Amino acid sequence: MAEQTKVTTLEKVVVRFSGDSGDGMQLTGTIFSTLSAIFGNEISTFPDYPAEIRAPQGTLSGVSGFQVHLGSKKVFTPGDKADVLVAMNPAALKVNVGILKPNSIVIIDTDSFQEKDLAKAKFTTDNPFAELGLNSIQLVAAPISTFVKEGLADFGLDNKSALRCKNMFALGLVCWLFERPLEEAMHLLQNKFVKKPTIAEANIKALTDGYNFGHNTHAAVSTYRIEGKKAEPGFYTDINGNTATSYGLIAAAEKAGMKLFLGSYPITPATDILHELSKRKELGVKAIQAEDEIAGICTAIGASFAGNLAATSTSGPGLALKSEAIGLAMIAELPLVIIDVQRGGPSTGLPTKSEQTDLLQALYGRNGESPIVVIAATTPTDCFDAAFWAGKLAVEHMTPVILLTDGFIANGSSAWRLPDLDKYPEIKPQYATEYNGEADWKPYRRNEETMVRYWAIPGMEGFEHRIGGLEKDFETSAISTHPGNHQKMIMARQEKIDKIANFIPELDVVGDADADLLIVGWGGTYGHLYETMEGLHENGKKVALAHFKFISPLPKNAVEVLTKYKKVVIAEQNTGQFAKYLRGKIPGFTPYQFNRIKGQPFNVTRLIEEFTKIMEA
Amino acid sequence: METEEIKYQAKDYKSDQYVRWCPGCGDHAVLNCLHKAMAELNIPPKDMAVISGIGCSSRLPYYMNSYGFHTIHGRGAAIATGVKTANPDLNVWLITGDGDCLAIGGNHFIHAVRRNVDINIVLFNNRIYGLTKGQYSPTSERGFVSKSSPYGTVEDPFIPAELAFGARSNYFARVVDVDLKNTTAVLADAAKHAGASVVEVLVNCVIFNDGIHKNITDKDFRADRTVFLRHGEKMIFGKEANKGIVLEGLKLKAVTIGEDGYTLDNILVHDAHTKDNTLHMMLAMMTNEDDLPIALGVIRDVEAPVYDQCVDQQVKEVQAKNPTRKLRDFLMKGEIWEVK
């Protein structure tokens, strides 16, 4: 029968696993994307959680999704629309109807498509497909629950535990669709359930049953082949943005010869950074859960004062609470990394969704003249490099650095080549012991070239000193309310930040040198904007992309790049915060803007349409 | 080569900064006591970090010749927690006031105490906001008239000891600013205690709340209206040293030895080290209104696991079992695949 199966070879395919938040869709998606990465596909993933921990079972608000984009060539986004949907219940089908491509494969568990299930998802007829107008899908309908219960009859599991393996049956089916050998999946499951061998075996049995079911009975639907391709030699792992951020901080501390300290407070979607760094004690990391957001940053400031590479991790509401303390670290000129994993705002907003709406808060959200460094990571794996840079600039330039990531890249993952730290730049703190100027050392005595002060750490003999939030004298470092001195210190702190432009990479432009349109973005939208550029190229358009990672200060060539093209469009997931910032830096700069604030990633198809309109305008 | 141990003097802890507190302010006395206590402990100034929040007392780090950090309002406890956790070898002080510590910084205070971070908290309690020129504080009595309570407050105050014990404090002491000898001794004792120590110093604000503690600090009545507790000693007080504290039922009572049938044997012996804090709480809550003396001295001093040491210990325990120290080595042990 297998011989009759149509095999379609594709460059890219999007698979979405969707079910109740208790159905294990995140694990299923993660295993499938890891398998695919091992197979040699490019991957980009996007978990889409409900806001509720456990919404009522089977309801629309309880649907949890995990989308993975596979490609034989580079993929940068989890994809706009799905080629394959696994819908574990009617609610999952209904929620995802808008993202199905024509002729897509939909896998359902018929046991969960009974009358009561349809009612929970607010279907009014007994044919959900007709009701949703789905008439061109390839349906793979199987009584998954029944099969799983039967298949696991000999395992001695109770009904509930057996049904928990449903997701693996679905995964087995998908593995068959994509011709993925099961060995690696089995290996991953054995590792996952290393302490529960029976559960591991049950999951593997369900997985195998799912695969065999597809192989033996469903020769009618197409299966897909995404060719594996040869990536750059090296060791790879699948990594999400939050984990990459954590490792980037560890790498920076290792390079700087410093101890890493994290002071943090749980907040979606940043908490996984606290989780990861709490685990890394073998690497000497001290990560503490503070009593609130303010204590999170304040313990970090204390640790920085004591000589650690200190960081705090949060999201928008937490960043607001930390504002005053960031101002303290700024005027005390202590190194500090503040990670803001942006989520939908304002206020509590959309905690599990993604936005770029904290940019102006990061740049300006403090009292007084308070310039600091702002960096934005561009992809899940770039979070590593961005966190490394954040640590480097904080330590070498004695300043707080805000690292902006977002829920999308923090939870999204892709394959990551393990870095060779020997190839990363050095990180050298400028300690007071290196000061050799003519005047006596003082805490705010500066290196004239960089305007960076020389750092003395408690325990260093002969450098005892007092710092704090009050303005200090430029020469003596004692408290000063002198009007002229205040202005001098404000300008010195600003100059210190401005000079960092000499120590960061220039802005890279990709695409056509003679582009008719320059696409400009920053942070986590890189993948979507890159694919948009590729799409426009395929349509014969001349476009280029300038994507910003360093925002404050801007790269040295930023103004030159932005003023070189006929048309410039700035695309952001806010109402135009970066555009406003750039207009303030470049007199007369009037870019087009594309702004979407829906809590969801950009849609590449839509971007291509909109940018084409701009080009034709 | 033998190195001679340096013996530090009080002046070695004084910075060159002009002290800007008002003449007559109780803070001057506490500063001098701290200089003397540090000399007694002989801790090198380079190993001492003095952290403060905002308020009159929080200016103190500028007057110490050690490492010092004058931070933001209420957050000193969190910053001191970070300093000590990052480097447990440092001798860390938190200088704070009743507004800084118990109003805006209340959350950080209770959690630093609960965690038992080894920091020495000196709580300057003048029952007023001085730096903002005279508003009532969380320790001002109900009905207290101030610029922000012109008709008197309609709220009850915190009693710092009660709050500290509520936060499971293992070390609490109370002293008065005018008693230099005991303040110096208690500060040194608090510094020696492993874990969070809270020393409440009743200080006078000569400008905005002059005489607020006069009822107990004045030489004429201090002996009769306070009892200075010492571990292992009987709770005896009074000008004639003939009064003592006894426990009757569930209540403490002040008695005169030799009257009403009370003898020296009836007087309680202070046990600062007992784990049960019931009696410590009762002692700390004694007031003159109930015909009891105010308890001074070290009321509670109990050993307990110390947060910063435990954080360090956990790292060491994990490292003893796991030899991986470099990020690359750690990553190579994860779920990886190789492309050749």
The Cα of B112 is separated from the nearest Cα of chain A by a number of Å equal to 9
A256 and A195 within one domain: no
Residue A182 lies in a domain: yes
Instruction: Provide the ipTM.
Output: 0.98
- Residues of A with Cβ-Cβ distance to B18 under 8 angstroms: none
A513 and A500 within one domain: no
Closest Cβ opposite residue A299 in set B81, B324, B335: B81
Q: Which residue has the tokens 């410093």?
A: A258
Closest Cβ opposite residue A291 in set B46, B111, B325: B111
Q: The domain spanning residue A209 has which CATH number?
A: 3.40.920.10
Confidence of residue A23 (pLDDT cuts 50, 70, 90): confident
Percent of chain B topping pLDDT 90 = 96
For position A21, what pLDDT does the model report? 81
The Cα of A259 is separated from the nearest Cα of chain B by a number of Å equal to 8
Judged by CB atoms closer than 8 Å, whether chains meet at A34 and B328 is answered as: no
A280 and A359 within one domain: yes
Judged by CB atoms closer than 8 Å, whether chains meet at B78 and A235 is answered as: no
Judged by CB atoms closer than 8 Å, whether chains meet at B75 and A295 is answered as: yes
Distance CA B134, CA B136 (A): 7
Q: What residue of B is the nearest CA neighbor of A244?
A: B331
Q: Taking phi first (over 0 means left), then psi (-120 to 50 degrees means alpha), and beta for anything else, what does residue B38 get?
A: alpha
- Residue-wise pLDDT for A31-88, tens only, equals 999 888 888 888 888 888 776 666 788 888 889 999 999 988 888 888 889 999 999 9
pTM of the model: 0.91
- Residue-wise pLDDT for A474-500, tens only, equals 999 999 999 999 999 999 999 999 999
A200 and A262 within one domain: no
Q: How many CB atoms lie within 10 A of CB A568?
A: 24
Specify the CATH superfamily of domain B1-217+305-340. Answer: Thiamin diphosphate (ThDP)-binding fold, Pyr/PP domains (3.40.50.970)
Of A160, A193, A226, the one marking the end of a domain is: A226
Picking from B322, B327, B336, B338, the residue whose alpha carbon sits closest to that of residue A187 is: B336
Radius of gyration of chain B (CA): 23
What mean pLDDT is predicted for residues A553-581?
Answer: 98
Asked whether the beta carbons of A186 and A31 are under 8 A apart, the reply is: no
Of A466, A487, A504, the one marking the end of a domain is: A504
A417 and A281 within one domain: yes
**B60: CB partners within 8 A, 6+ apart:** B27, B30, B31, B34, B50, B52, B95
- Residues of A with Cβ-Cβ distance to B111 under 8 angstroms: 290-291, 295
Extract the tokens encoding B93: 């002080």
- Residues of A with Cβ-Cβ distance to B323 under 8 angstroms: 282
Asked whether the beta carbons of A552 and A434 are under 8 A apart, the reply is: no
The Cα of A616 is separated from the nearest Cα of chain B by a number of Å equal to 44
Judged by CB atoms closer than 8 Å, whether chains meet at A468 and B107 is answered as: no
A513 and A590 within one domain: yes
Q: What is the DSSP string of A17-37?
A: EEEETTS-HHHHHHHHHHHHH
A462 and A567 within one domain: no
What is the pairing mode between strands A42-48 and A63-71? Answer: antiparallel
Residue A232 lies in a domain: no
Confidence of residue A615 (pLDDT cuts 50, 70, 90): very high
A379 and A242 within one domain: yes
A577 and A529 within one domain: yes
For position A445, what pLDDT does the model report? 98
Say whether residue B329 is in contact with chain A using an 8 A CB cutoff: no
A541 and A404 within one domain: no
Residue A222, pLDDT > 70, answer no
In total, how many domains does chain A have?
Answer: 4
Domain that holds residue A568: 509-616
Residue A261 lies in a domain: yes
Confidence of residue A1 (pLDDT cuts 50, 70, 90): very low
The Cα of B158 is separated from the nearest Cα of chain A by a number of Å equal to 21
- Residue-wise pLDDT for A502-514, tens only, equals 999 999 999 999 9
What mean pLDDT is predicted for residues A302-326?
Answer: 98
A401 and A252 within one domain: yes
Judged by CB atoms closer than 8 Å, whether chains meet at A235 and B71 is answered as: no
Q: Compute CA distances B308 → A127, B115, B311, whole Å.
A: 62, 9, 5
Secondary structure (H, E, C), A467-505: EECCCECCCCCCECCCHHHHHHHHHHHHHHHHHHHHHCC
**A261: CB partners within 8 A, 6+ apart:** A285, A286, A287, A288, A299, A300, A303, A304, A308, A309, A310, A311, B82, B85, B86
- Residues of B with Cβ-Cβ distance to A261 under 8 angstroms: 82, 85-86
Extract the tokens encoding A367: 């009292």
β-strand partners of B70: A468, B52
**B124: CB partners within 8 A, 6+ apart:** B26, B27, B30, B55, B56, B57, B95, B96, B97, B98, B201, B203
| Domain edges within chain B | 1-217+305-340, 229-292
Closest Cβ opposite residue A418 in set B79, B324, B328: B328
Judged by CB atoms closer than 8 Å, whether chains meet at B51 and A302 is answered as: yes
Residue A219, pLDDT > 70, answer no
Flag residues of chain B having pLDDT under 50: none
What mean pLDDT is predicted for residues A230-245?
Answer: 90
Binding-face residues of B in 185-214 toward A, CB within 8 A: none
Extract the tokens encoding B219: 């030489």
- On the CB side of A547, CA atoms within 13 Å amount to 21
For position A147, what pLDDT does the model report? 94
Q: How many CB atoms lie within 10 A of CB B251?
A: 10
What mean pLDDT is predicted for residues A172-189?
Answer: 89
Residue A598, pLDDT > 80, answer yes
Extract the tokens encoding B266: 């009836």
Extract the tokens encoding B195: 């874990």
Best A189, A236, A283 member to test B by mutation, with max B CBs in 10 Å, is A283
For position A3, what pLDDT does the model report? 40
Residue A334 lies in a domain: yes
The Cα of B97 is separated from the nearest Cα of chain A by a number of Å equal to 17
Residue A344 lies in a domain: yes
- Residues of B with Cβ-Cβ distance to A33 under 8 angstroms: none
For position A2, what pLDDT does the model report? 38
Picking from A333, A356, A607, A358, the residue whose alpha carbon sits closest to that of residue A489 is: A333
Judged by CB atoms closer than 8 Å, whether chains meet at B108 and A420 is answered as: no
What mean pLDDT is predicted for residues A559-563?
Answer: 97
Say whether residue B80 is in contact with chain A using an 8 A CB cutoff: yes
Asked whether the beta carbons of B74 and B54 are under 8 A apart, the reply is: yes
For position A232, what pLDDT does the model report? 83
Judged by CB atoms closer than 8 Å, whether chains meet at B62 and A466 is answered as: yes
Give the phi and the psi of residue B199 in degrees, each rounded to 5: -115, 110
A513 and A490 within one domain: no
Of A398, A423, A448, the one marking the end of a domain is: A423
Best B17, B335, B340 member to test A by mutation, with max A CBs in 10 Å, is B335
Radius of gyration of chain A (CA): 26
Q: Which residue has the tokens 């990465």?
A: A37
Q: The domain spanning residue A607 has which CATH number?
A: 3.40.50.920
Judged by CB atoms closer than 8 Å, whether chains meet at A281 and B75 is answered as: no
Q: What residue of B is the nearest CA neighbor of A295?
A: B78
Q: The domain spanning residue A330 has which CATH number?
A: 3.40.50.970
